[in-house]
Amino acid sequence: MGNTCRSAKCATASSPLSSKNPLPNSNTSSSTTSSKITSTTSVISSLPSFRSDTSANSNLKSFTLIDLKNATKNFRSESFLGEGGFGCVFKGWIDGHTFSPTRPGSGIVVAIKKLKRESFQGHKEWLAEVNYLGQLRHENLVKLIGYCSEGDNKLLVYEYMQRGSLENHLFKSGIQPIPWTTRVSIAVDVARGLSFLHSLEIQVIYRDLKASNVLLDSDFNAKLSDFGLARDGPTGDKTHVSTRIVGTRGYAAPEYIATGRLNVKSDIYSFGVVLLELLSGRRAVDEDRGSAEEMLVDWAKPFLNDRRKMFRIMDTRLEGQYSKKAAQAVAALALQCLNVDPRNRPDMTEVLATLEQLQTMKEVRTPRPNSK
**Residues that are catalytic:** 208
Q: Is 371 left (phi over 0), alpha (psi -120 to 50) or beta?
A: alpha
Burial class of 86 by CB neighbour count within 10 A (0 to 12, 13 to 18, 19+):
buried
Would you state the torsion angle of the CA atoms of residues 256, 56, 162, 19, taken in this order, to the nearest 10 degrees?
A: 40
Rg of the Cα atoms in the chain:
20
For residue 332, give the DSSP letter.
H
| Residue 114 marked in a binding site | yes
Closest to 257 in 3D by CA, of 295, 300, 200, 299 = 295
Helix pair angle (348-359, 324-337), 10° resolution: 180
For residue 76, give the DSSP letter.
-
Please work out, in degrees rounded to the nearest 5, the angle formed at the alpha carbon of residue 293 by the alpha carbons of 288 and 298: 140
- Residue 120: other Cβ atoms inside 10 A: 9
Helix pair angle (264-280, 348-359), 10° resolution: 30
The rounded distance, in Å, linking the Cα atoms of 273 and 254 is: 12
E strands, the chain, are: 36-38, 61-62, 80-83, 87-94, 108-115, 144-150, 153-159, 164-165, 204-205, 214-216, 222-224, 231-232, 241-242, 246-248, 261-262
Residue type for position 70: N
Give, rounded to a whole angstrom, the gap between the first and last alpha carbons of the chain. Answer: 32
DSSP 163-223: TEEHHHHHH-TTSPPPPHHHHHHHHHHHHHHHHHHHTSSS-EE-----GGGEEE-TT--EE
Binding site per annotation, positions: 114
Q: Which residues are annotated as a binding site for ATP?
A: 114
